[in-house]
Amino acid sequence: MADILFQLKNVGQKTFFTDLQARKDEYISVLEEIYADGYTDRGKRFTKYFLPVKQNFSHFPSEIILPFGGNFIVECYDIREKLDLEVIQEEVLKILDDQKIRIYMKYILSNIRQIIKKIQSLKLNENLLPYQILIVEKLQTCIEHLKQTYLEVGQTDNNITPKLQWLGKTNVLTTLIYELWQGQEKGKQTSTKPLIKAQKKDLEALLINNFLDSKGKPLSFSTITHYLNTSKPETRAKKGVRIEL
């Protein structure tokens, strides 16, 4: 059987952080699979990708601009995490036994903790330290997501509340939750006030534990956390598509 955490274990290698050209090539290879078209402006030193063609990558924006330079460690991590979480979900659905799922998940969590220790032990240049810290934080968030999704829910037995199926696009739902949390911009000078006081991890748990996507499938944690990232405004639904507050 293939290694369930193949993608994330490779994140623990020093070259994942130091070989920036490899990370850019990796990210480009994904973008070329997702987007139907693109063009390169050599004068302004960027490549623009647009028209996404694959539904399973619906969390990507309608277009994305990739500069010639830059560091794509975080983008590559997010993609790898999404792939491994999908594999874990597939394996859990095959087991269908609460006790075996708990044993399996404890094995997965133990392995992720080992990956965290390995990353923390890496000796990296000072300019890469923020990325090292951020990836560790993302892995710790991943652990919490797996615990809440596959361990804590099972403890409620028959009292589990059925999940609601969201019939629209996932980023419309997450944009609504985000703007209830952070406020909704109405123009350059005006915005609504926040209506929810919470931490990002609480909102992630709210969405993961209570909603299914338009196809009746569980929401992807990596997609949800990407949409709720305050530094990624391009991923949220735009005016005319979003739900107005």
For the chain, the average pLDDT equals: 84
The pLDDT of residue 33 is: 81
Contact (CB, 8 A) for 213 and 167: no
**Cβ count within 10 A of residue 181:** 18
Alpha carbon distance 9, 19 (integer Å): 16
If you count DSSP H runs as helices and E runs as strands, how many of each does the chain have, helices first?
A: 9, 5
pLDDT digits (tens, 9 = 90+) for 181-218: 988 888 777 788 889 888 888 888 889 888 988 888 88
pLDDT digits (tens, 9 = 90+) for 42-100: 888 888 877 766 555 556 777 788 888 888 999 999 989 988 888 888 888 888 788 88
Among all chains, which residue has been given the structure tokens 């892995």? 139
Contact (CB, 8 A) for 210 and 149: no
Among all chains, which residue has been given the structure tokens 């199926």? 165
Q: What are phi and psi of 96, to 5 degrees?
A: 50, 40
Residues constituting the chain = 245
Q: Tokens for 127?
A: 């300019």
Q: Which of 16-25, 90-99, 145-154 tops mean pLDDT? A: 16-25
Grouping H, G, I as helix, E, B as strand and the rest as coil, residue 161 is coil
